Amino acid sequence: MKAKIHPKYDISTIKCACGSSFKIRSSVGDIDIEICSSCHPFFTGQQKLIDTAGRIEKFKKKYGAKK
C-alpha cells in the first residue's frame, strides 16, 4: 500500500435525536442522525408517528377531495 493516500480512520461519535450516542470507527467525523436502533419502531416494538411540521395536513389540504 502507498503511504499517505488513505483516509484517516478514527473513532467517531454518532448522536441521535433521541439522546443516544454510539462510538464507531469511521473516516467521516461526528454524525448527527434522526432515528437510531434505540428509538426505531422495528427495534423497540412500539409504534411512534413522526409528523414533521404537519406534512400530512399540508398534503391533504393541497391534494384532498375537491368539491
The phi, psi pair for 14, rounded to 5°, reads -105, 125
The cell for 26 is 469511521
Would you state the pLDDT for residue 41? 76
Q: What is the CATH number of the domain that holds 15?
A: 4.10.80.400
In the chain, the number of structural domains is 1
Report if residue 14 sits inside a domain.
yes
Collapsed DSSP state (helix, strand, coil) of residue 3: coil
Range of the domain at 53: 10-63
The cell for 67 is 368539491
pLDDT digits (tens, 9 = 90+) for 14-34: 999 889 999 999 999 899 998
pTM: 0.54
What are the strands, taking DSSP E only, across the chain? 10-16, 21-26, 31-33
Collapsed DSSP state (helix, strand, coil) of residue 51: coil
